[in-house]
Structure 1
Amino acid sequence: MKYRVFLSLGSNIEDRERHLLDALNCIFAISDVSLEKISNIYETEPVGYTEQGRFLNMAAQIATSRKAEELLEELLGIEKLLKRERIIRWGPRTIDIDILAYGDLKFDTPRLTVPHPRMFERAFVLIPLMEICDKKELYGVNIREALDKCSDRDGVRLYKKITIFDLHGAC
């Protein structure tokens, strides 16, 4: 069975755009994963730990028959490849790749919670997600209504328009 999976990507260290594009190219290279849609890139204010630079954020839609834990391992491997360090919670990072939704599945394990527990509270996640999600609702939550309740809406600005055709690197 193929699952439609939504991912959120963010970077705020060094060449932020390059990290996002490298991560997408690496996701594209995972066996049994097809990259179906990507959002534009948005520049956003940091949330949580605010003593850091602005982020570039985007969303991606993939299709896979892999189990969620297997996909998570691949994504963590990409973060490691791109030199992600986990020093400060919500702190600076070369790349962050979060699984937002996995088909209609819900689960909560020590390593992975789906749907992502804070996705409906963050405009920097919802604005890119709305670009690529054909559904008005995910997990029974209206995406537009959730976005309207987000206090960080004004801190999300279009940084660059991008399409899958702009990807041409290798992982």
Structure 2
Amino acid sequence: MKRLIFIGGPMGIGKTTIGRALVKNELANAVFLDGDWCWDLSPFIVNDENKQMVVRNIQFLLNSFIENSKIENIVFVWVMHQQAIIDRIMAGLIDDYQFVSISLVATPEALRKRFNKDVTKGIRENQAVSGAVARLPLYAAVNSQKIDVTNQTVFQTVAEIMKLL
């Protein structure tokens, strides 16, 4: 049976790096989808119309991967700090997979440190760090396996995820 693996966490925690490492190094016949790809608008406008469009886009892509006979593992990463986000996506998916939901968390200090590395590289804007840190406590209410990445390398986090699968 296919596996659908959701990896959530605040911006800058390492979701993309972890998801790509899983697909590239650990999982057979796997595909990687970053929800941000469905939200890359210019100008970036957050409104109900765009939120609904993004969820439909994600559902379409995930369903296409679920229906593909050659794909066994689907890794989806996105900022999913509320259970309602996950539920909204799942409501539009065909039901033919084993579902695993994981949230990456860290201490606020560790998240700031990771975030600042991205700011230095020009990947993120410095003003966004406060929002990322503010979302950390929200993951406690998400129905997911929590992995604290505070003191973990990518390899260690990937190994921990593989144990959950």
Asked if Structure 1 and Structure 2 have the same fold, meaning a TM-score greater than 0.5 normalized by the shorter chain, the answer is: no
By percentage of residues, which structure has more helix? 2
By percentage of residues, which structure has more strand? 1
Instruction: Between the two structures, name the one with larger relative contact order (CA 8 Å, sep ≥ 6).
Output: 2
Please tell me whether Structure 1 or Structure 2 has the larger radius of gyration of its CA atoms: 2
